Structure 1
Amino acid sequence: MPANVEKEANWVALWTWSQADIVLRTVCIGWLITNMHDFVAEAGEGLCPLLGLVTSPTIARDELDSLGRLGFREACRRRIGTLVVLIASDWSTFLVPEESSESRQKRTTMSDKQKEAAYEHVPQVDSKDNGESIVIENTIDFSIPSAGGVTLKPKISLLNGITVIVGSIIGSGIFVSPRGVLAGTGSVGLSLVIWILCGVYSMIGAYCYAELGTAIVRSGADYAYMLEAFGPFVAFVRLWVECVIVRPCTTAIVALTFAYYVIEPLFPDCDQPGIPVTLLAAVCILVLTFVNCMDVTWATRVQDIFTYAKMLALILIIITGFVQLGRGEYEYFQNAFEDSKTDIGEISLAFYSGLFAYNGWNYLNFVIEELKDPYKNLPKAIWISIVLVTTVYTLTNIAYFTTVSPNEILSGAAVAVMFSKRLYSFMWWIMPIFVSLSTFGGVNGILFTTARLFYVGGREGHMPQILSMVQVQRLTPLPAVLFMGLLSLVYLASSDIYALINYVGFATWLSIGLAIVSLLYLRYKRPNMPRPIKVHLVWPIIYTLVTIYLVVLPLYASPTETGIGLLIILTGVPVYVIFVVWKSKPKAFYNFMDNMTTFLQKLLVVVPEEKKAQ
């Protein structure tokens, strides 16, 4: 079709947008819904021109370009012109007749302003020697010009960074892990030692991560570090472990704890029913998924508020514990190490429970690209947060043992509720509320940081491309947040919190251990790499040795849970081979992925992040 006819069709379409806008969009969506089954079967190859219209990369580019620069309302008006032009390109025999002399005269007398408005969003065309014109299909990897660019912005201050770490660490762990730690140690004294050692271990890891995070300033934390040190295969397996096991499973654990404590005041003398607990946990995940989709500022504000709430709950417990000690309530500290267990396998499981409560100390590294002045604020936020959390955890456990006996702790998971019922009389319900606020903030912290991991994985080509895209108006990684929220809902099918902790523990510490090994590897292979923070080699070596202990011994002490975790890790190998290594996949597969990516782009109004200027 001649280029001038195509341009005229676009001008006419723009003039008639008000009549066609709603009808055309409704028809497109209707066709998509009614033909989805056939669309999947045919992989989008010529199913029908209208369905191809909905999933055309060219249309996606023009729509999202106009959305980014003009706003939604004006872009909707101009979008119709592009749609009709593409219909004209495909069906020119009956939609656009041969250009008449009258239409040619009308076109040539258009004002410059009219031409500019009409041609502004026309797909790029190229004329062949034979006079025909073709629409050049743009690739999916495009970016749109807008103020400041479509990219994640550094909005996280030092205080926000501290609340992200503290809020992510202090979630459900301090309220459910005391039972697991005590079960693995057998005594009050040894359990307190484990809590302190877990804090020291986390501090060493955070110390090492400060070097990695300031040397490799990329979101994704240990995934980014392994990618830099060991290449794509190890990094992909790490990403697979984190995406399939660790993060969604942890989110489910914290959300279930939130639900247990919210419902606890309603069932003070009996067990909570399972279905309401699961549904409430799902509501928690869905609400916070929405918050994280809307605005980074919303998410950090929620994190700040609920971090203060959880700290208030723990301070209340600690103050009450000091009052109890002042009254002479230290019965359970006499012969504190009596009945201590010596089996190293069980002690390693106690470490798992304790370290689960500390899980989150590395979460700020996942969003380092959004941290203001990361070289200065990352190490500060880490030091302050870990010292604060270790102190609070140790004092909280001491407070528990002033009132609740070891046998009572072992008999039930809700130790904070037992503590409050003993001491706060009719006001005991305050503690479940504070705990629920704490865990609510914990879920928010996990969703906020984990979405960035999916986002970075998609950016590197190790996850579906749609997960690397940013919402053009809100500048949030909306597809990654939605995916994380949906995957977390799947893990709510299991209500065994301690089995989930064992799954998470094995996978988590194996992955973090490899990240620390990457520090040692980079020290050897790239000694001249800029390192604003440089730790003594003794610390990563100690951390690696302890991690080996934590990974190997649970295979003996809890073979079922850790074995399942290992099998899930190994499933990442064939996935990597099929989806990353195998480049000659059928054309239908690529067409299907491209079409689905484009459809989701238009549905969510997202585009790839713009490349930052070097």
Structure 2
Amino acid sequence: MEQDKSESRSGVIVVTDVDHLQMKKSISLLHCTAILISVTGHISIFITPTAIFQYTESVGLSLLIWCIGGLINTGVCLCFTEMGTIYPKAGGGYAYVLKVFGDLPGFMIMYGYILMICCPFWAFVAYIASLYTLQPILGCRPSEAAVKLLASWILVTLVALNCVYMKYVTKVQTFLSITKILALLIIITGGIVRLTQGETEYLDNAFPSTAESLKLGNLGMAMFFSIFTYGGWQVLGSLMEEVRDPGKDAPRSVYLSFAVIILKYILTNLAYFIVLSPQQILQTDAIAVIFTDMLYPPMTPVITILVGVSCVGVLNASIMGHSRILFAGARNGHAPMILSTLHIRFLTPWAAIIVMSAWALVMLVTGGLTTFMEFIQVFSTILSIFVISAQLYLRKTQPDINRPFKANLVMAVTVLAVNVMLLIICVIAAPSRIGLGIVVWFTSLPVYAVFVKWTSKPKGFHKLMAKITNSLQKALVLGKSA
């Protein structure tokens, strides 16, 4: 590794340029599984049961949709994993689309991922962490200002830890994953206890007559939220460059984590339906709190603490994975060069993390829960369509390419068709909201034309950018990545 050092007037040695820095391969099978269990489904199990039940009005149909949503996500995740073992580089879905379909599609995926998934997701999780932390303290639903203020502090703190203490952040992730499992086990156990006591009143009519007249649009929106609920696993693809053995560890962690996640989410929903009436489910956005209040009020503070810590774990894993997408984009010329640098001591993408956290804070201040969820799921579906299409294209055009892991072909075609149909149904059912997300994504076209494709910019512009880049490298002690 070569370093070009210069001494400032104060006598401090400043590193102005460092070549061939690489991120460490520090993520094992255990870490992969812990990250997936923590971030897959994030904390929507404590929020979205209300949204899904609102569209189905049926206990039985809701549970069925939860199961189908989990299986669809498992299939899509395995397709991503195959692509990740072929191209084990930071960037995830963006890197795969760029390699297979070229520059413009790759840029559009990176743009949409950052604008509509990563930063809204950070804001969403920080918001829920704050909500569940403040509600038991205040004894009622806190004000929006208080929730967003605490959420901002949580987000900034975790960003700082990811910049400086990556080694310890990956280690503590295992503990944070356990808190989420523990919270769900408490809920599941409570449901089982009530079931053994013969309290099945709310399960007696699992498929009411209203479910028979369910509109296709409502069914599509319910599935939309179900697939969103199992989302978040995409961060694994973004961390492939840091996984020790991607060909073995990544697929194993997918099988292990999704088996656990699908089972516990179905059992958790069943517990909700045993203890809570349909009216209670529809009237809350903090279903775990209402559940423990009905079951055993002294346990409510415990659940809220566990949910809050779980949110921290989800946000921590998301910052680790999502920031690598912008970092990879900058390495490919799709973002300013400064965002492709690493801190020379901590070997983490400081610049990319800081820029994304700034946009996440903007989303946190200006957005709401429904907006977050819809924007995230719109682009998650688009991303899945692109990546699976890239996978199938490679199967046809490059059958002999090195594939350390190979997903089932029939499964890949099936989940691709499901995602395409789901996107069409949801656009028809909610054209203003879902359509808005697609319109926002297409703003990537003029951005690409001006900032990427237009290479003959004035010399003054290039000089200014070079000066800014050099100043930031010196100030933050950043070096070029390999």
Q: Does 1:563 align with 2:438?
A: no
Deviations 1:153-183 (A, max 9, x none): 1001111111111111243211001011111
Aligned pairs (5 A) from 1:61-100: 65-66=4-5, 77=11, 79=13
1:319 aligned to 189, 194, 199, which one? Answer: 189
CA distance in structure 1 between the partners assigned to 2:351 and 2:371 by the alignment = 29
CA distance in structure 2 between the partners assigned to 1:302 and 1:177 by the alignment = 27
Decide whether the 8 Å contact of 1:162 with 1:384 is kept in 2: yes
The residue aligned with 2:171 is 301
Task: Give, as a single letter, the amino acid of the residue that structure 2 aligns with 1:368.
Answer: M
Q: Which runs of 5+ in 1 are unaligned?
A: 1-60, 68-72, 81-120, 122-139
The residue aligned with 2:214 is 342
Q: Secondary structure at the match of 1:607?
A: strand
Task: Give, as a single letter, the amino acid of the residue that structure 1 aligns with 2:125.
Answer: V
Task: Give, as a single letter, the amino acid of the residue that structure 2 aligns with 1:235.
Answer: G
Decide whether the 8 Å contact of 1:245 with 1:507 is kept in 2: yes
Q: Secondary structure at the match of 2:479?
A: strand
Aligned pairs (5 A) from 1:414-425: 414-425=286-297
1:220 aligned to 79, 85, 91, which one? Answer: 91
Query: Structure 1 residues 321, 76: closer, same or farther in 2, change over 3 A?
Result: farther
TM-score normalised according to structure 2 size: 0.96
CA distance in structure 2 between the partners assigned to 1:516 and 1:391 by the alignment = 25
Aligned pairs (5 A) from 1:190-269: 190-268=61-139
Aligned pairs (5 A) from 1:129-168: 143-144=18-19, 150-168=21-39
The alpha-carbon deviation at position 559 of structure 1 amounts to 1.5
> Relative to structure 2, which stretch is displaced further, 568-577 or 348-357?
348-357
Identity %: 32
How big is the alpha-carbon RMSD for the aligned residues of Structure 1 and Structure 2? 2.0
CA distance in structure 1 between the partners assigned to 2:345 and 2:141 by the alignment = 46
CA distance in structure 2 between the partners assigned to 1:483 and 1:461 by the alignment = 16
Q: Secondary structure at the match of 1:66?
A: strand
Query: Structure 1 residues 150, 399: closer, same or farther in 2, change over 3 A?
Result: same
The alpha-carbon deviation at position 66 of structure 1 amounts to 3.3
Query: Structure 1 residues 76, 325: closer, same or farther in 2, change over 3 A?
Result: farther
Deviations 1:236-280 (A, max 9, x none): 000000111111001111111111111111232x43211110001
The alpha-carbon deviation at position 549 of structure 1 amounts to 1.5
Task: Give, as a single letter, the amino acid of the residue that structure 2 aligns with 1:459.
Answer: R
CA distance in structure 1 between the partners assigned to 2:112 and 2:190 by the alignment = 40
Query: Structure 1 residues 171, 211: closer, same or farther in 2, change over 3 A?
Result: closer
The residue aligned with 1:5 is none
CA distance in structure 1 between the partners assigned to 2:234 and 2:425 by the alignment = 24
Deviations 1:413-465 (A, max 9, x none): 11100001112223322111111111111111111100111111111111111
The residue aligned with 1:385 is 257
Task: Give, as a single letter, the amino acid of the residue that structure 2 aligns with 1:413.
Answer: D
Relative contact order (alpha carbons < 8 A, sep ≥ 6): 1 or 2 greater?
2
Q: Does 1:575 align with 2:447?
A: yes
The alpha-carbon deviation at position 76 of structure 1 amounts to 6.7
Q: Does 1:439 align with 2:314?
A: no
Deviations 1:268-311 (A, max 9, x none): 2x432111100011011001000100022122123222111111
The residue aligned with 1:363 is 235
Decide whether the 8 Å contact of 1:170 with 1:438 is kept in 2: no
The alpha-carbon deviation at position 346 of structure 1 amounts to 1.4
The alpha-carbon deviation at position 597 of structure 1 amounts to 0.9
The residue aligned with 1:524 is 396
Q: Secondary structure at the match of 2:207?
A: coil
CA distance in structure 2 between the partners assigned to 1:170 and 1:75 by the alignment = 52
Q: Secondary structure at the match of 2:18?
A: coil
CA distance in structure 2 between the partners assigned to 1:370 and 1:291 by the alignment = 18
Aligned pairs (5 A) from 1:399-410: 399-410=271-282
Query: Structure 1 residues 583, 308: closer, same or farther in 2, change over 3 A?
Result: same
2:223 aligned to 351, 361, 366, which one? Answer: 351
Aligned pairs (5 A) from 1:265-276: 265-268=136-139, 270-276=140-146
Decide whether the 8 Å contact of 1:256 with 1:495 is kept in 2: no
Deviations 1:108-137 (A, max 9, x none): xxxxxxxxxxxxx9xxxxxxxxxxxxxxxx
Query: Structure 1 residues 587, 540: closer, same or farther in 2, change over 3 A?
Result: same
Higher gyration radius (CA): 1
Consecutive aligned runs of 4 or more in structure 1 exceeding 6 Å deviation: 73-76
Task: Give, as a single letter, the amino acid of the residue that structure 2 aligns with 1:211.
Answer: E
Q: Secondary structure at the match of 1:493?
A: helix
CA distance in structure 2 between the partners assigned to 1:430 and 1:315 by the alignment = 12
Deviations 1:485-534 (A, max 9, x none): 11110111235202221121111111111110000111122122111222
The alpha-carbon deviation at position 321 of structure 1 amounts to 1.2
Deviations 1:305-343 (A, max 9, x none): 211111111111111111111111221111201121521
The residue aligned with 2:148 is 278
TM-score normalised according to structure 1 size: 0.75
The alpha-carbon deviation at position 78 of structure 1 amounts to 7.0
Decide whether the 8 Å contact of 1:170 with 1:442 is kept in 2: no
CA distance in structure 2 between the partners assigned to 1:299 and 1:561 by the alignment = 36
Decide whether the 8 Å contact of 1:361 with 1:386 is kept in 2: no
Q: Which runs of 5+ in 2 are unaligned?
A: none
The alpha-carbon deviation at position 223 of structure 1 amounts to 0.7
CA distance in structure 2 between the partners assigned to 1:468 and 1:311 by the alignment = 36
CA distance in structure 2 between the partners assigned to 1:455 and 1:302 by the alignment = 24
Decide whether the 8 Å contact of 2:111 with 2:444 is kept in 1: yes
Q: Secondary structure at the match of 1:583?
A: coil
Decide whether the 8 Å contact of 2:42 with 2:232 is kept in 1: no
1:479 aligned to 334, 351, 358, which one? Answer: 351
CA distance in structure 1 between the partners assigned to 2:291 and 2:26 by the alignment = 39
